[in-house]
Amino acid sequence: MQLFLFILRRLIYSIIVIIGLSLLIFLIARIVPGDPARMALGANAPQWLIEKYHEEMNLDKPIAVQYGLWLRGALRGEFGNSLYTKRKVIEDIGEFLPATVELVLFSGLIMGIGGVLLGMLSAKFNDSWVDNIIRVFSYMGVVTPSFVFAIIFMLIFGYLWPILPAMGRLSRGIAAPEPVTGMIVLDSLLKGNFPAFWNALKHMVMPAFTLALGGLSQEARITRSSIVDNISKDYVLSHQSYGIPGPSIWFRFLLKPSLIPTVSVFGLDFAVLFANAFLVEMVFNWPGLSRYGINVMLQKDLNAISAVILVLGVIFVVMNIIADIVISALDPRIRLGMAKGE
Amino acid sequence: MADLSIDTAVTRNRLKSLKERAGRSWYKFSRHSISVVGLGIVLLVIILAVFAPILTPYPEHAGAYVDLTYGSRAPSVEHLFGTDTYGRDILTRVVFAFKPALFTGVVVLAIVVPIGMVLGLFAGYYVGRPADTIIMRITDIFLGLPPLILALAVSAVLKPSLFNSMMAVSVAFWPWYSRLVYGMVSSLRNEFYVRSAEFVGESTLHILFREILPNCISPIFTKMTLDFGWVIILSASLSFVGLGEQPPAPSLGTMVAEGSRYLPNQWWEAVFPAMAIVIIVLGFNLLGDGVRDMLASEET
């Protein structure tokens, strides 16, 4: 019941955030200095084209009406046509989103597992050289922008010691499997097309790893400090004094409470992966939503820009809800507090 | 005559205590020698940025300069970081790019901190009242998106330029300050000294800015030093995707983006500007950690 109330509160709250977000995006896109039509079509566009664009985008109506129309369209998934691809924006998103989702899922997997393992290792060998190396590594991970990692990895593993493909999702000459989910690794596995699966997986390694590093370092740092805090608590000492073996204490008693802060940061970091995908997809020529987003931004394609941002905003908000639910499942104290609205 | 000597004695005492305090702060700051390394990096970057025209070997390469005979040379004694496709010295351009990077950090913080601070002050002081609800809900909406996406969204609709990318980064950063200040103020408002200032009838502005604000300064200052690096990363990311400073002006993000087109053969074009970003951000983060150590232990 408490969990239900908590989720309900969270949902209502998220809807408010998303509506606010849509208003924000709309306002940024409309109250731009200058005529959006001129910006999108170029300074030399003929007058009739500008007028047609105004009509299509409802730019001649009052701003509140414009927002209402835009929101109604957005709820139905109608964002108008893209000037960049000349197609419906929603079709573009349908085509490009799976590639980004696939990349982010793999990246999240690497981030979560890698971060927790490194954090555990660092805590286990607290203040030894292992710990120090991991700490330096995670500090670098936090201060390095992901596009820098992308370039360095590409140079090392793509060219200097070429063990991984550096560009795109599949090598030339390998046919993509029929789309089921649009995620090539998963699709090729579903169809039993193992050469394509292996090839797609290899293409995935570098971009996913690059994207994961920032969050991974953060997870490692947080897991480490959380375990180090908990390990000196009385309950661990009492378990030790009962003679319970070390690994058992770690996995049965220490890990669950220690992972609560990690999970909450993981939720945020996972959503941030969608943002950093903008930088990583550019370098690896990954045909995902983010690369599409950059292209439409450079083209000033307002319909597509607002759609991309709104989709990412919704994803971000949903991720946060999921993270909150998982945390509340792990930590009864938070569950109780949040249901009461604290 | 006598008055004068008392005055100088007072000043001398003040100076002495100031010196002592500075010494104590420095001790706390430098306890972790890595913070001193951070300070060193930051000072070096500032000096290089200020004296770039004197210190760099080819200052004329900072702008639109083309000499294709020297195009795409690998690092050598004449060109330590090599040259780009137009024949410009990359070391020179990296050093010249420090100034806009630092400038961005200063401008963004100068916009973001006062706005976030004032909003946080009012929302936190009127906690539970309409002012709080409106300000903090708006803040939450802005916090509802990762900063990079927010900054991209804003710069996407503006003309790409250094100034507009600063505005875009500012839009992404202010809510963090209003939330930070809000959190502190909503608990400080129940402190005894605030209550007594209210009781004697001090104006709200006096209470907010003279009673409450001074107690929020050190966390704000710590966050500022730590954020400086993030602002630089964010604006470099914008210029990396082509939404920031436009060529031929030197900008680290743009240089990395341009260089990454010539990987792997002309690796130096992307790698050195990329390293420069990492070093600047590392410097500010280490410095920020040091400042946090310094101010945190001052309170306890």
- Name the average pLDDT for chain B: 87
At residue B233, the pLDDT reads 93
Taking CA atoms, A259 is separated from A7, A115, A246, A339, B260, in Å, by 21, 11, 18, 22, 38
- The SS3 of residue B120 is helix
* pLDDT reading at B5 higher than 70: no
d(Cα A220, Cα A205) in Å, to the nearest integer? 20
Dihedral, CA of residue B191, residue B196, residue B201 and residue B205, to nearest 10: -30
Which H, E and C letters describe B31-83, residue by residue? Answer: CCHHHHHHHHHHHHHHHHHHCHHHHCCCHHHHCCCCCHHHCCCCCCCCCCCCE
Distance to chain A for B242, nearest Cα, Å: 7
- The SS3 of residue B251 is coil
Long-range contact set of residues B224-228: C-beta below 8 Å, sequence gap at least 24: B224/B109, B224/B113, B225/B284, B225/B287, B225/B288, B225/B291, B225/B292, B226/B284, B226/B285, B226/B288, B226/B289, B226/B291, B226/B292, B227/B109, B227/B173, B227/B176, B227/B288, B228/B105, B228/B109, B228/B284, B228/B288
> Which of A 152-191 lie inside 8 A of B, CB atoms?
152, 154-155, 158-160
* pLDDT reading at A29 higher than 60: yes
Residues A115-137 have pLDDT tens digits of 999 999 988 888 788 888 888 88
* pLDDT reading at B113 higher than 80: yes
- Are B255 and B94 within 8 A, CB to CB? yes
Instruction: Residue A279: count other Cβ atoms within 10 Å of its Cβ.
Output: 25
The identity of residue A342, as a single letter, is E
Is B148 close to A302, i.e. CB distance below 8 A? Answer: no
Is B138 close to A20, i.e. CB distance below 8 A? Answer: yes
Res. A327 pLDDT band, cuts 50 70 90: confident
Q: A89-339: CATH homologous superfamily?
A: MetI-like (1.10.3720.10)
Alpha-carbon Rg for chain A, nearest whole angstrom, is 24
Res. B300 pLDDT band, cuts 50 70 90: very low
Is B157 close to A32, i.e. CB distance below 8 A? Answer: yes
Q: Which residues of A touch B233 (CB under 8 A)?
A: 143, 145
* pLDDT reading at A200 higher than 80: yes
Res. B31 pLDDT band, cuts 50 70 90: confident
At residue A338, the pLDDT reads 53
* Closest listed residue to residue B118, CA positions, set B171, B170, B177: B177
Is A282 close to B278, i.e. CB distance below 8 A? Answer: no
* pLDDT reading at B127 higher than 90: no
Res. B3 pLDDT band, cuts 50 70 90: low
At residue A297, the pLDDT reads 87
ipTM score assigned to the predicted complex: 0.83
Distance to chain A for B194, nearest Cα, Å: 24
Is B146 close to A144, i.e. CB distance below 8 A? Answer: no
Residue range B59-68: mean pLDDT, rounded? 81
Is B142 close to A24, i.e. CB distance below 8 A? Answer: yes
* pLDDT reading at B1 higher than 60: no
Res. A54 pLDDT band, cuts 50 70 90: confident
Residues A208-217 have pLDDT tens digits of 999 999 899 9
CB pairs under 8 A between A and B: 129
Res. B244 pLDDT band, cuts 50 70 90: confident
Q: Is the peptide bond before B264 cis (omega within 30 degrees of 0)?
A: yes
* pLDDT reading at A192 higher than 60: yes
- Name the average pLDDT for chain A: 83
CA A69 to chain centre: 29
Give the range with max mean pLDDT: A1-5, A198-202, A250-254, B77-81. A198-202
* pLDDT reading at A1 higher than 70: no
At residue B99, the pLDDT reads 92
Concatenate the DSSP letters of all residues of B253-276 into one string. Answer: HHHHHHHHTTTTTTTHHHHHHHHH
d(Cα B152, Cα A304) in Å, to the nearest integer? 13
Interface of B with A (CB under 8 A): 137-138, 140-142, 144-149, 152-158, 229, 233, 236-237, 240-243, 256-257, 260, 263-264, 267, 270-271, 274-275, 277-278, 281-282, 285
Q: Which of A80-84, B80-84, B177-181 has the lowest mean pLDDT?
A: A80-84
**CATH code at B34-299:** 1.10.3720.10
Query: Phi/psi at A88 (nearest 5 deg)?
Result: -70, 135
At residue A65, the pLDDT reads 83
* pLDDT reading at A342 higher than 50: no
Closest residue to B153, CB basis, from A272, A276, A309: A309
* pLDDT reading at B2 higher than 80: no
Which H, E and C letters describe chain A, residue by residue? Answer: CHHHHHHHHHHHHHHHHHHHHHHHHHHHHHCCCCCHHHHHHCCCCCHHHHHHHHHHCCCCCCHHHHHHHHHHHHHCCCCCECCCCCCEHHHHHHHHHHHHHHHHHHHHHHHHHHHHHHHHHHHHCCCCHHHHHHHHHHHHHHHCCHHHHHHHHHHHHHHHCCCCCCCCCCCCCCCCCCCCCCCHHHHHHHCCCHHHHHHHHHHHHHHHHHHHHHHHHHHHHHHHHHHHHHHCCHHHHHHHHCCCCHHHHHHHHHHHHHHHHHHHHHHHHHHHHHHHHHHHHHHHCCCCHHHHHHHHHHHCCHHHHHHHHHHHHHHHHHHHHHHHHHHHHHCHHHHHHHHCCC
Per the model's pLDDT, the better-predicted residue between B94 and B57 turns out to be B94
Q: Which residues of A touch B229 (CB under 8 A)?
A: 143
- Are A144 and A273 within 8 A, CB to CB? no
At residue B298, the pLDDT reads 53
Taking CA atoms, A96 is separated from A201, A287, B282, in Å, by 18, 7, 35
d(Cα B202, Cα A301) in Å, to the nearest integer? 53
At residue A112, the pLDDT reads 93
Burial of residue B151 (CB within 10 Å: 0-12, 13-18, 19+) is buried
In DSSP terms, A81 is beta-bridged to: A88
Res. B166 pLDDT band, cuts 50 70 90: very high
d(Cα B83, Cα B71) in Å, to the nearest integer? 6
At residue B84, the pLDDT reads 83
CA B262 to chain centre: 31
Instruction: Residue B78: count other Cβ atoms within 10 Å of its Cβ.
Output: 12
Is A140 close to B278, i.e. CB distance below 8 A? Answer: yes
Q: Which residue of A has its CA nearest to B283?
A: A143
> Which of A 14-43 lie inside 8 A of B, CB atoms?
16-18, 20-21, 24-25, 28-29, 32-33, 36, 39
- Are A321 and A25 within 8 A, CB to CB? no
Mutate to test the interface with A, among B45, B148, B271, B272 (most CBs of A within 10 A): B148
Distance to chain A for B255, nearest Cα, Å: 12
Distance to chain B for A70, nearest Cα, Å: 17
Would you give the end-to-end CA distance of chain B in angstroms? 43
Residues A273-326 have pLDDT tens digits of 988 998 899 888 888 998 899 888 888 888 888 888 888 888 888 888 888 788
* pLDDT reading at A159 higher than 70: yes
Burial of residue A33 (CB within 10 Å: 0-12, 13-18, 19+) is exposed
Mutate to test the interface with A, among B157, B228, B262, B279 (most CBs of A within 10 A): B157
Percent of chain B with pLDDT over 70: 97
Res. B175 pLDDT band, cuts 50 70 90: very high
